[in-house]
């Protein structure tokens, strides 16, 4: 059973190394963007060449988007893919973020081809540092459950880890619905230039939704559908 690991922060990002640590012992292939692709959504490349650099027997740097990486991985690298795992993203991908996120797009692309997947993101509070070892620990625990759960065709999992402070209790895993509230839309204007200044942590939320669960210190798990 082969598991594809990818992300949208790039193959050299610490989050994908944390994800590799979380799935230690499993048969994995890393097929991830050569460069940072955060926020690219489900963009795919069809009008230029996509360069692939083989770094090792199990690691491929692909000059494309996360969706490109999945397309190439399942058709050109190996045909025995049983799961696609994307992350661990440096920042939350909650609610409507799933339409913007390259991390989520990777597993959506897999679901389109009948391959189950899990997107994992680490919410960040106020530009504080990430604890990737802790993120790997929580991811290991969540995946132990999710990889055994059957998924209907065209569905996939979206997981968001909370940003805990030292001394806070371990989070619970909460299966919930994605928030439907929009992201803050605020701009600083300088002449004809608009600079986005919306604050992620101040976004509105549906009670009990993934935003509410994650911001409250628990692991939010939603099942999304193509």
pTM of the model: 0.95
Q: Decide the pairing of beta strands 173-175 and 219-225.
A: parallel
Residue by residue, DSSP assigns 54-123 as EEETTEEEESS-HHHHHHHIIIII-S-EEEEEEEEEES---GGGGGT-HHHHHHHHHHHTT--EEEEEE-
> Mean pLDDT in runs of 10 for the chain (226 residues)?
95 97 92 95 97 96 98 95 96 97 98 97 90 96 95 96 91 98 96 96 96 97 97
Residue 100 buriedness (CB in 10 A; 0-12 / 13-18 / 19+): middle
pLDDT tens, position by position, 51-79: 999 999 999 999 999 999 999 999 999 98
- How many Å apart are CA 75 and CA 190, to the nearest integer? 47
User: CA quadruple 109, 110, 111, 112: dihedral positive or negative?
Assistant: positive
pLDDT tens, position by position, 191-207: 999 999 999 999 999 99
Domains of the chain plus CATH, in order, are 2-225 (3.40.1210.10)
């Amino acid at each position: 059973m082969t598991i594809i690991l990818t992300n949208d922060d790039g193959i050299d990002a610490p989050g994908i190394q944390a994800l590799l640590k979380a799935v230690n012992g499993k048969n994995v292939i890393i097929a991830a963007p050569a460069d940072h692709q955060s926020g690219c959504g489900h963009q795919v490349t069809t009008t230029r060449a996509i360069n692939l650099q083989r770094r090792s027997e199990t690691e491929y740097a692909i000059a494309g988007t996360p969706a490109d990486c999945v397309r190439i991985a399942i058709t050109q690298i190996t045909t025995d893919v049983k799961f696609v795992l994307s992350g661990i993203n440096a920042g939350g991908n909650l609610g409507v973020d799933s339409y913007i996120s390259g991390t989520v797009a990777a597993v959506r692309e897999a679901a389109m081809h009948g391959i189950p997947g899990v997107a994992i993101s680490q919410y960040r509070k106020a530009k504080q540092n990430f604890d990737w070892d802790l993120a790997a620990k929580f991811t290991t625990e969540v995946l132990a459950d999710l990889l055994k759960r059957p998924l209907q065709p065209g569905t996939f999992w979206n997981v968001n880890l909370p940003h805990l402070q030292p001394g806070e209790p371990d989070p619970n895993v909460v299966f919930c619905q994605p928030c439907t509230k929009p992201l803050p839309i605020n701009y600083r204007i300088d002449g004809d230039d608009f600079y986005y200044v919306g604050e992620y942590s101040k976004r509105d939320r549906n009670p009990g939704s993934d935003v509410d669960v994650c911001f409250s210190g628990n692991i939010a798990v939603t099942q999304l559908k193509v």
